[in-house]
Amino acid sequence: MQPFDHTPHYVTNLADGTVKQINPFSGTEVWTVPGRGNRPLGIETADPRRLDESAKGAYCAFCEKRYVETPPEKSRVVRRGDGSFETLYRLPAERLFDTVAEFRRIPNLFEILSYDYWHKNYGYELPARVAERRQDYLASQAGLAHVLSVIDMKLRASGRSQEQIDALSVEEKVAAASGFFGGSHDVVVARRHFLDGATHEDQVASSGTLTPDEHAEFIRYTVECTRALYDLNRYARYVAVFQNWLKPAGASFDHLHKQLVAIDERGVQHETTLERLRRNPNIFNEGAANYASYKNLVIAENDHALMFAGFGHRYPTIEVYSKSEHSDPWDQSPDEIRAMSDLLHAAHAATGSSVPCNEEWHYRPIDVDLAMPWRVMVKWRVSTLAGFEGATRVYVNTIGPEGVRDRVVDKLFRLRDEGLISANMRIAFEAECRPNPLRYNRVAR
């Protein structure tokens, strides 16, 4: 360390190639040890099976021929004839198959926090408009049959015998359905399970295989759905938004979806971050954006967002930051949200469909008054050394920030040349990397 240098050292490169990292917000300590990160990241399927053509559209419960196997949807996005997108709300059961949804917002069948959690702990009741929707849906024969069959499925999956289920009255079963209408754990499901024209089962459709326009709609719609959960449940202090891609990353289906979970806390990570933010309102520039730029970790940039290789994370991580002055994603302009989508889409495309990963959204909890930027992390779920970590609380990561940057930058140039990601971004040395690119605290300063 040089004298008179007061910049914290979040990333330290040692002579032997080891990279020691400290997360600027959580204090998490991570080491990257040389020689461990050169293997391919993805799950290689040596001999992928041919797809069963007769199962097309019905590979899993999120597929388009199986809409009645999930609880009644809250809304869906469809394509109009001219290619633009339109959101349809509160479709009755009779109309579920009239259109094919590009994206659907459905209640999670197995909520992390159930309707009962909010009802019994807070006195939460269904808002009038939701109670009305529930009544309308159940008033139709197809709607009632749909709800009863999903409840049967849920009870069976929870270990009830068929006799126990049959012993319940229709009223008792319907009473259990409030969570379908007023629940605060939603899933946003994309249309495709496999790529259009796929012949083998390793050709799954991921975030990165959407077109930039489809991905932009996915993100815009997810922002809308996040906002809708706060509107639905005033006891929610935070809506966690995340995407688990492939089973090693925690996904139960290899069918692209995001989850939105309302919780009654801000989460430990936010509390730690908020403490640091109170001490230094510019910490997201100093600790993240500027630091990444001084260390040449910037991967790409556009007018309203910045992507860099993250440091101090348990898993190799790509970080995408919004430069908007609006902390709440739903207050951002369509161009600002699109810019976030374009870089996030590029991050997924460069990562590749065969790499298990988590996408985590971080943004200002609803009851916080401090400004903070909307940011999204893509974490590659490649293996780590669990025993060492348990003993030392130091995490060993297989690919350092520069390794992440090099892998991604290299792919981005090729993807942009092939027209598979937005052309509207500046990659690596093309980026301007001006200090303080994040404008979230512009008003405060």
Using CB under 5 A as the criterion, which residues of the chain lie in contact with Zn ion when the complex forms?
59-60, 62-63, 193, 255
Please report how close the Cβ of residue 109 comes to Zn ion at its closest, in angstroms: 15
Closer by beta carbon to Zn ion, 193 or else 375:
193
User: Please, are residues 193 and 62 in contact by the beta-carbon 8 Å criterion?
Assistant: yes
Closer by beta carbon to Zn ion, 105 or else 193:
193
Integer angstrom CA distances of residue 16 from 34, 310, 402:
8, 21, 15
Please report how close the Cβ of residue 349 comes to Zn ion at its closest, in angstroms: 21
DSSP string, 19-39: EEEE-TTT--EEEE-TTSS-S
Please report how close the Cβ of residue 194 comes to Zn ion at its closest, in angstroms: 8
> Measured between alpha carbons, how far is 296 from 111 in angstroms, rounded to an integer?
42
Helix (H) or strand (E) holding 357: strand 357-362
Helix (H, G, I), strand (E, B) or coil at 133: helix
Collect all residues with Cβ–Cβ distance below 8 Å to 210 and sequence separation of at least 6.
190, 218, 345
Please report how close the Cβ of residue 190 comes to Zn ion at its closest, in angstroms: 9
Please report how close the Cβ of residue 100 comes to Zn ion at its closest, in angstroms: 13
Closer by beta carbon to Zn ion, 56 or else 295:
56
Please report how close the Cβ of residue 193 comes to Zn ion at its closest, in angstroms: 3
Dihedral sign (CA 110, 133, 256, 331): negative
Closer by beta carbon to Zn ion, 63 or else 320:
63
Exposure class string for 73-90: b at 16+ Cβ within 10 A, else e:
bbbbbbbeeeeebebeee
Closer by beta carbon to Zn ion, 255 or else 270:
255
Helix (H, G, I), strand (E, B) or coil at 54: helix
> Measured between alpha carbons, how far is 25 from 28 in angstroms, rounded to an integer?
8
Please report how close the Cβ of residue 52 comes to Zn ion at its closest, in angstroms: 13
Closer by beta carbon to Zn ion, 235 or else 253:
253
Closer by beta carbon to Zn ion, 104 or else 215:
104
> Measured between alpha carbons, how far is 176 from 192 in angstroms, rounded to an integer?
31
